[in-house]
Homo-oligomer: A and B are copies of this chain.
């Protein structure tokens, strides 16, 4: 296997919870990042195993073995990517030395309101102090804060695609934040590597399954950011959010059915996207009429987006697609890391989408 070398001074990075899919994806990306050396991998249930045993496709690159998080020597890392289960994350991050920057891929620091967190995650938040310092890492809308942050809470995969599609329109007053119908579709990696009956090939293959209808934890996260963007923090904004499992491994697409503000048209939405996204390296607005497809982003950090007229007067449809493991998770995490450490924002994320 090819080892990378170069002349950039490298930072040292660790991955907590490296045996999950977001951990594997972080390894894939960081192995080719010229400014990063991977020095720490933890996975409690796989402690003592080599990377090759846990992820055969990552064998041969000389990565360190998995260890238990309790055995980690934090002095060896400048930054950790944290892919632990919610709850656990809070406890561990609270114990890290201040010199270690943290990029969290869990849901633990996304919700600013303690009651909302408790309602959706079933237990009291155990590190609300840290929560107040966390920056919501939707990079395109939070660059300056991310640059200065010690703790970045990366958005969920669905919120990433949804908010890239909706926030510019909400912020510009072009659509009604109280009438957002988000019909979401995701590949199976979104459900993680844990063993569940409904994610077996024979159960999920050749089938389409809605799940968590009106009960998905990404709904309050979207609502929080929409309210924030609309300047309606005192309003109890509710969105319709219906996710579906699609028989593919990677990829996510949100079909957002929106109500236009009075006098606005789908063309106005496109113009706003053109204005907002013109210099974004990872957001691509398609030509008018062209349709986003998950095939356009597989393995890349890109978000592809477009807007369409609705047959119902006064409504429009906004469609956005990302690779849930890249822009929806580990890729956006690396994008944030680049900002936090002064690298070019696109470093290590240049990969072109893999199609077919």
Chain A residues packing against B (C-beta within 8 Å): 1-2, 4, 21, 24, 27-28, 31-32, 52, 55-61, 178-181, 183, 185, 187-189, 191, 193, 195-197, 199-211, 213-214, 219, 238-242, 244, 246-251, 253, 255, 257, 281-282, 284, 286-287, 290-299, 302, 308-313, 315, 317, 319, 321, 325, 346, 349-356
A313 touches B238 (CB 8 A): yes
Residues on B with C-beta less than 8 A from A193 are 197, 200, 202
Residues on B with C-beta less than 8 A from A284 are 1, 59-60
Cβ of A218 to closest chain B Cβ, rounded Å: 12
B196 touches A319 (CB 8 A): no
A-side interface mostly? loop
Q: Please, how many angstroms separate the alpha-carbon atoms of A5 and B24 in the complex?
A: 28
Q: Please, how many angstroms separate the alpha-carbon atoms of A251 and B201 in the complex?
A: 14
- What residue in chain B is nearest A297 (Cβ atoms)? B57
B208 touches A206 (CB 8 A): no
A253 touches B208 (CB 8 A): yes
**Apart from A31-B352, A55-B355, A239-B312, what are 18 other A-B pairs with CB-CB below 8 Å?**
A28-B352, A28-B353, A32-B352, A56-B286, A59-B284, A180-B312, A181-B312, A183-B242, A193-B200, A201-B247, A205-B249, A206-B294, A210-B253, A214-B308, A219-B311, A242-B255, A257-B257, A325-B356
